[in-house]
Amino acid sequence: MRFFSKLLLLAGVVAVGFGAWIWNFSQSELTIAEKPHTFVVKAGSNIRLVARQLVDEHILNEPWSFIVMARLTGRASQLKAGNYLLDRDLTPYRLFEMLSNGDVTQIGVTFIEGWTFRQMRDELNRHEGIKHLGMAMTDSEILQRIGATETHPEGLFFPDTYYFASGMSDIDILKRAYQAMHDKFAQSWSTRAPGLPYTNPYQALIMASIVEKETGKSEERPLIAGVFLNRLKLGMRLQTDPTVIYGLGESYDGNIHKRDLLMDTPYNTYTRAGLPPTPIANPGMGAIEAALHPDQRNGYLYFVGKGDGSHVFSRNLTDHNRAVARYQLGKN
């Protein structure tokens, strides 16, 4: 009898200690190093996945206390998918309340595939829900603020929709887009096709930006990339209009003139061999995959627009000239 009394007393002490431990954890203050921080709960995530994600994003030191606390509330299975803005230090219990109540952010800004960095900045500047810290900064200053190692901003930001809470800064959003491009491109680069002529990943990013601007048809992108890579291997000039347009900058009037093709700029691929010095736009995944997995099987060296957004591809100049006469000059 005395044994069972001691056992019950021990169980009571353990229960009190356990309760004190959970209470102290739930009411302790979490320190979020970089604020504001957007925490994303994906659809279908359970408490274990979310707790592990909180550790990975340096919000929790370990996952198990959060899991136990959540389960003791009886609402561990009620997490709501969405984007949560963590803009101040808070307790684990308050964080769990946010995630289970669905205190999500709903504001978003969309960067379109093929946009230039200037177009991205214009979109951010127009958005009323954004804190405009970067509006007075130069491109170089923005790159420094987001921790970029590159010196030119073009092509470094992944086109997508980024959700945030009202008051988040444009710098924070650009930092997310920069990191997204870095992560997605690194993954694609690691699985690239063998034998590509790129000396570094940045050259592949340049090619992806050209492919992005040349066609909006996903099925044509590997063929477009194949044409340009076939040309590079043969020492031919790329002769692609989008690079010329980019080099013209604000002087471009909406039409390519003969004088434009003759005007030498670092981006004029009619007057200069090889790739231009930087990307000319922000490519999406389709263009990135095409640049890293081109279709070179047919040996195409030329293509011309048919007027409906698609292109005719040719292996030699004679066939190309016939296609130009038919589709560009209206000759049968």
How far apart are alpha carbons 145 and 140 in whole angstroms?
Answer: 9
Q: 40 forms bridges with which residues in the sheet?
A: 83
Query: Tokens at residue 224, please?
Result: 């477009």
Task: Please state the domain extents for the chain.
Answer: 26-101, 107-187, 196-300
pLDDT tens digits, one per residue of 199-250? 999 999 999 999 999 988 899 999 999 999 999 999 999 999 999 999 998 8
Q: Other C-beta atoms within 10 Å of 116: how many?
A: 18
- pLDDT computed for residue 140 by the predictor: 96
Q: Are strands 37-41 and 82-86 parallel, antiparallel or unpaired?
A: antiparallel
Instruction: Output the average pLDDT for the chain.
Output: 88
| Greater model confidence, 33 or 67 | 67
Q: Which of 120, 106, 128 is nearest to 175 (CA)?
A: 120
- pLDDT computed for residue 16 by the predictor: 55
**Mean pLDDT to the nearest integer, 6-20:** 54
User: For a pLDDT cut of 70, what percent of the chain falls above it?
Assistant: 92
Domain at 26-101: CATH code: 3.30.1490.480
pLDDT tens digits, one per residue of 89-110? 889 999 999 898 887 766 788 9
Please name the amino acid found at residue 151: T
pLDDT tens digits, one per residue of 149-177? 999 999 999 999 887 766 778 999 999 99
